[in-house]
Amino acid sequence: MKILGISGSPRKAATEYVVKEALNEIQKKYPDIETEYMSLRGKKLAPCTHCDYCKRKKDWCIIKDDGNALIKQMIEADAFVIGTPVYVMEPTPQMMALFSRMRPIHHVFPEALRNKLGVSLAVGGARNGGQELAVNALNNMMLTRGINVISNEVFGYHGGKIWSQDNGGKGAGDDTVGMKTVTDLVLKLAENALIYEAGKIALAQSNDCR
């Protein structure tokens, strides 16, 4: 069981802090779950150009950058904590590029991300700077790729929303209300991932008995 935390920030700052904190919380409560951190910072990652190479050749993307490797790293995980800074009330272009590059998942490897689980976190410099819109976009991007989105109860709803006050990890950490939405959400993700894992084993056993 592996949970992969992804930061869509081009910096080592607020989103990195939030995603790493989320992974720490999971580790504290569920030490048997493996966690891994992946950052889009410094990665060469162009958006999809709709050349249809993957569709025609039934192959990975022809663009020679870090995109394919990042997506393959995602395929190795069971669940995702996906965090993005809010840029113009949306996820970052880096995060949008990552998801646009997943067309080979659609056309070539449709099972690759199916039945994995994910949650969304958005970190904005303004208190109401579009975090809700950014988590909506992240949730929708996951849904288009077959990832099942885990929601939270009251105060968390559809994703973690953090106000960094444009002050990096310190600012994000100071937003104790926002960070609570992160903790609640990622612990629910971990719980669901474990239930899912147990369910898969039970299903395989019952299929063996038939």
Ligand X SMILES: Cc1cc2nc3c(=O)[nH]c(=O)nc-3n(C[C@H](O)[C@H](O)[C@H](O)COP(=O)(O)O)c2cc1C
User: Is residue 42 classed as helix, strand or coil in its secondary structure?
Assistant: coil
**Please, what is the minimum distance in Å from the beta carbon of residue 137 to ligand X?**
12
Nearer to ligand X, 47 or 125 (CB): 125
CB 179 within 8 A of CB 15: no
Element (H, E) at 188: helix 176-209
| 80-119 binders of ligand X (CB under 6 A) | 85-89
Residues 120-149, one symbol each (x = binds ligand X by CB under 6 A, - = not), give ---xxxx--xx-------------------
Tell me which stretch binds ligand X (CB under 6 A): 6-14, 67-75, 98-106, 152-160.
6-14
The residues with which 34 forms a beta bridge, in sequence order, are 2
Query: Closer CB to ligand X, residue 38 or residue 63?
Result: 38
To ligand X, the closest distance from the beta carbon of 124 in angstroms equals: 3
Pairwise CA distance, residues 33 & 13, whole Å: 25
Q: Which helix (H) or strand (E) holds 162?
A: strand 160-163
Residue in the structure block whose two tokens are 């989103």: 15
Which range binds ligand X by CB under 6 A, 64-72, 110-118, 136-144, 162-170? 162-170
| Interface size with ligand X, residues (CB under 6 A) | 19
Q: What is the DSSP string of 54-117?
A: HHHHTSS----SSHHHHHHHHHT-SEEEEEEE-BTTB--HHHHHHHHTTHHHHHT-TTSSTT-E
**Residue 147: what are its φ and ψ, rounded to 5°?**
-85, 130
Closest distance of CB 192 from ligand X, Å: 26
CB of residue 91 to ligand X, shortest distance in Å: 10
Q: Nearest-CB residue to ligand X?
A: 129
DSSP letter assigned to residue 176: H
39 binds ligand X (CB under 6 A): no
Candidates 3, 4, 6, 13: give the one binding ligand X (CB under 6 A). 13
Q: Does 15 bind ligand X (CB under 6 A)?
A: yes
Task: State the residues that interact with ligand X by CB under 6 A.
Answer: 9, 11, 13-15, 85-89, 123-126, 129-130, 164, 166, 168
